[in-house]
Amino acid sequence: MKISGFVIVAISAASLASCAITVPVAVISGKGDVMRGTSTATMSGGSFQVAGRLKGKTVKCAGSYDSLDTSVTISMAVHCSDGRKGIVIATRQANGLDGSGRVRLTDGTDADFVFGRAAAAL
C-alpha cells in the first residue's frame, strides 16, 4: 500500500512540474508600433518573447522572470535582437494572468504593454 501511495505522489509531482501557463502579450509604443508575443510560466521559471516593429525596425525581444514570485509588481530584464536592452515593470491583476506595464530600453524607447485578456483583445 505504501508503494502505491508513493507512485501516486511521484506521478502528481511530475504532472505539476510539466504544467505551463501561456498568455498573450502586446507591446504598444508611443509611435503606434505594435509587438505581439507570449509569456509562459512554469514551476521552473517564466519567460516572455515578443516580435514586431519598434521605432520602425522589425525586432524580437525576450526575457525571463521568477514565476513563483507572488508580488503584484515585478521587474525583469529584456534583451532585443538589435542589441537594445532594458527593463520591464509589470503589474499583475489579482488573477495573476492579466495585467499591464511599461518597458524602457537603453536607447530611450518607452512602450506600454498588456498581457492576458487585454492582449488577446487587441
DSSP state of 70: -
Domain count within the chain: 1
Domain that holds residue 92: 21-121
Tell me what percent of the residues of the chain surpass a pLDDT of 70.
Answer: 85
**pLDDT category, 18, cuts 50, 70, 90?**
low
Using 50, 70 and 90 to split pLDDT, how confident is the model at 5? very low
Buried b (16+ CB within 10 A) or exposed e, 41-63: bbeeebbbbbbbebeeeebebeb
Mean pLDDT across 16-26: 84
- Residue 54 has a pLDDT of 86
Q: Is residue 4 domain-resident?
A: no
Cell output for 108: 530611450
- 39 touches 48 (CB < 8 A): yes
Q: What is the pTM of this model?
A: 0.81
CATH assignment of the domain containing 68: 2.40.128.120
